[in-house]
Amino acid sequence: MFLGSVIYDKRRSLNLTQNDLANGVCNQNTISKMEKHNMTPQIDVLIKICHRLDLSLNDVFSDFSSDSKQEQIFVLDSIEENVLLNDISEIDTKLSLVKDDINSKDMAQFSFIEGVLQFWQSNLERSSFELDKVVKETKSDNDNIYTLMAYLIKAMIYLKQNHPDMAAYYCKTIADSLQENLNIANAQGIEILFICKSLGKIYADLNQIDLAIEISKRGIKYANEKHLSYFIDELNYNIALALKPKGTDNQEFQKYQKIAYYSAISLNHESFQKKIEKELLNK
């Protein structure tokens, strides 16, 4: 249960008004509902408020230490989504709220988040270390999404280190696990699509054109079936990039190039839009 009284008491002890606490985070009415009606706000809002008040999630939930730890799961999922989207500007703040309360069931996810974060920050050795911890936690179970995603980031690391054979090894391991379908028991949609778009890009970089197109198309089909838009611009980009050697007049190339470009615009992915303009449109 969310404890709005804890927010109220801490806010008052710091001589903050509701407007002071809400400033730049939410509106005053949200703070009022939290304090008076124990309304749980959106996770990102809650994280910022807790950080501002120097509270942990354990402080604001009466049953946070229970076996389910549902609130912590929501926070970890939110953090993981941010990391997969390479939106890491406030990740350290968010991680600080949960890292002292991670149980064994969530350790693979937590270590994976740390591993991806280190990868985005170009700390490849530390990233690989965190990913080894993931595989240890999952016992190398290829039916566990975190095993597959750990292998994926390892492939990306090896590609950066100019070891294409090692990258290809991990890619094949992942592809073998996904050969029949994309249904992994403990996977979320964003995780499946992250694998598809990243695997497609690696295959394109390895000049394995058919595999790049195949996994990217499977990702697009999955996204359409699940009504998801994560990475849809990048999935179409992968296919267009793989088809580009056939010539920019190729109809299939033009189809996926246009979808990638307008998807990037629709999703407000300005930096990726510019990447498409440079690499596919020659602007």
* Residue 14, domain member (yes or no): yes
Instruction: Give the count of domains, the chain.
Output: 1
* Residue 56, domain member (yes or no): yes
Span 156-195, pLDDT tens digits: 999 999 999 999 999 999 999 999 889 888 899 999 999 9
* Residue 76, domain member (yes or no): no
* Residue 27, domain member (yes or no): yes
Span 198-210, pLDDT tens digits: 999 999 999 999 9
Give the span between the Cα atoms of 126 and 157, in whole angstroms.
11
Give the span between the Cα atoms of 266 and 274, in whole angstroms.
13
- Give me the mean pLDDT over the 130-159 stretch: 96
Give the span between the Cα atoms of 25 and 33, in whole angstroms.
15
* Residue 255, domain member (yes or no): no
* Residue 169, domain member (yes or no): no
* Residue 49, domain member (yes or no): yes
Which residue in 228, 169, 166 sits closest to 197, CA to CA?
A: 228
Query: 75, 97 in Cβ contact below 8 A?
Result: yes
Whether 93 shows a pLDDT value over 90: the answer reads no
Domain assignment of residue 39, given as a range = 1-65
Confidence (pLDDT) at 72 = 66
Q: Residue 4 belongs to a domain with what CATH number?
A: 1.10.260.40
* Residue 24, domain member (yes or no): yes
Confidence (pLDDT) at 70 = 62
- Give me the mean pLDDT over the 126-153 stretch: 96
Q: What is the pTM for the complete model shown?
A: 0.78
Give the span between the Cα atoms of 212 and 109, in whole angstroms.
27
